[in-house]
Every structure is written in structure tokens, then in C-alpha cells.
Amino acid sequence: MPPFIPLFISDITFFSMKRKKKKIPKRQAPKKRRNSTKKLKAAPRGNSKQNLTDSGFALTQYELTDEPLDSPYLKKLPPAIRERVDDLYHLSLTKPKQVIAEILDLVKKYPEVPMFYNYLSVAYSQLGDFENRNATILECYKKFPKYLFGRVNYAQVCLENGDAEKIPEIFEGKLDLKLLYPKRTKFHISEYINFTGVLGLYNLSIGRREIATQYYETMKQMDPRHRATKRLKRDLNPPLIARLLFWIFRKATGSELTPEALKTHTRH
């Protein structure tokens, strides 16, 4: 697998942010419509016809939206189950113990729907059951290798285990959503944020702090309160005790100890 070489473009990249139109009361004067285009500086982009290890890069453009996107997986489900999907995700975060049995049942009934594996791994994670979480994530990745959240979850597990060298293979050596999914022209913000976040963590884990910081700045413009944004910020700015450990390790070994490497050392 070729090395995973990130690229940052100095030009400003524009993304169209579509939102639901609000109805204006008849007696209310219409407000000036704000420009719905969001600018992202230094967003990583590559030529959609080339691998990241090739030369001659260019910007790729696609649309980001916060509105629900049609999912080919959800179309396979009965209407009642489709309506339950959003509730299951929120319950996996807030009441994981209560919802695990239901999600397990759905995984058995609809094994071709990767979202249920994703929600199950979230519930296990919330309960601190990392063995089952990791097993579920791995199963999802093997069954649905092209499913973006499956890729992101598996990449995070690899980083936690100190296996950063596996990241290029997971994402086919590409750091752009359009490169990974060339037939798509629109992505949900959550897809962008989670994908960018794991790339930031990957670069930080291999000592490319400046690049990881640029990823964070891009994410912060999109959604500063998202968990992936906060996670990358936390790893970029570890607490004082962690910075002290980094300094001691560097003095003792002459090499850098990244946040992900620290997790590996403390776990083993």
C-alpha cells in the first residue's frame, strides 16, 4: 500500500450548506437571505482521478448538507423500522443497556443493514464493553468495507491499538470523500466531520501535528460542538500531566510520544 500523504490546498473551498426553508408569516417583512455558502480554508483536496501519492493535485468539489440523505440500506426496511432508526441511535447513546437487545434483534433480522451494527457498537461503547464494541466494529467493516462509518469506526479502533499503519488501507490511500465515493456529489455533515476527524487523529498519531491542526480548524468551522471535533481538539491539546509524560518520554528516548502511542503504552 502506498504511503498516505496528505495535501492541503491554500485556496478557499466553498461548500453549499442547504437548510430547510422557514415559512415567513404574511405580516412579517421578509428578512434578507444569508449566503448559504460556507467557506473552508485549507481543506485537504486531491485530484479525483489520481491517488494521493501521485503528483498534480487539484480541488474536488461536493455538497455538504445537514438534511437527511437517502440511504440505500434504509430502503430495504419496513416503514415502521425506518421510522425507528433515529430513535435507536439516540437511545444507543443515552440508554444503551435498554436498547441493546432490540438492536441485536434487528441485526439478526436485517444483517444487510450496516447502521444497526454501528448503533450496536455505540451502545457497547457507552457501557464500557470495548471487547464487544471492537468485535462489532470489525464485523461491520468486514461485511461492509465500503460503508463510511464502518471504515471510520475501524480506523479509530486501529489507532487505539497503535496500528496506525492500517489506516491507508482502510481508506484506499485517499483523504477526500469525493475520491472515496466518486459517484456521489452530496455528503452529510456528519460524514465529513467523522471522516476528517479520524484523518486528523491519524496524522497526529504519526507525528504530523501541523496537518492534524489544519484538519481541526476545518472541522471547527463546520461544527465546533461535534464529538469528533472535540476529540481532535482534546488530543491536540492534552492536559498538563499528559504533556509532562510526553516531555519525559522524549527526553528518555529521543523520540516523540503521540497521544495514541501514549494510550498503547499505558494499556500494555
* Per-residue pLDDT at 244: 61
**In sequence order, what are the residues at sequence separation of 6 or more whose Cβ sits closer than 8 angstroms to the Cβ of residue 114?**
73, 140, 143, 144, 147, 149, 150
**In sequence order, what are the residues at sequence separation of 6 or more whose Cβ sits closer than 8 angstroms to the Cβ of residue 239?**
none
Query: What distance in Å separates the CA atoms of residue 84 and residue 99, rounded to the nearest whole number?
Result: 12
Of 85, 144, 75, which Cα lies nearest the Cα of 111? 144
* Per-residue pLDDT at 167: 95
**Measured torsion, CA atoms of residues 34, 38, 39, 40, in degrees rounded to the nearest 10:** 160
Question: Are 121 and 130 a contacting pair, CB within 8 Å?
Answer: no
Give the domain ranges of the chain.
70-176+187-237, 239-268
Query: What distance in Å separates the CA atoms of residue 81 and residue 116, rounded to the nearest whole number?
Result: 11
One digit per residue, the tens of pLDDT, for the chain of length 268 reads 333 323 332 222 223 333 333 333 444 433 433 333 343 333 444 333 334 333 233 356 889 999 988 888 888 899 999 989 989 989 999 999 999 999 999 999 999 999 999 999 999 999 999 999 999 999 999 999 999 999 999 999 999 999 999 999 999 999 899 999 999 999 999 999 999 999 999 999 999 999 999 999 999 999 999 999 999 999 998 876 655 665 565 556 655 555 444 444 433 3
Query: What distance in Å separates the CA atoms of residue 55 and residue 259, rounded to the nearest whole number?
Result: 31
* Per-residue pLDDT at 242: 54
Architecture in CATH of 70-176+187-237: Alpha Horseshoe (1.25)
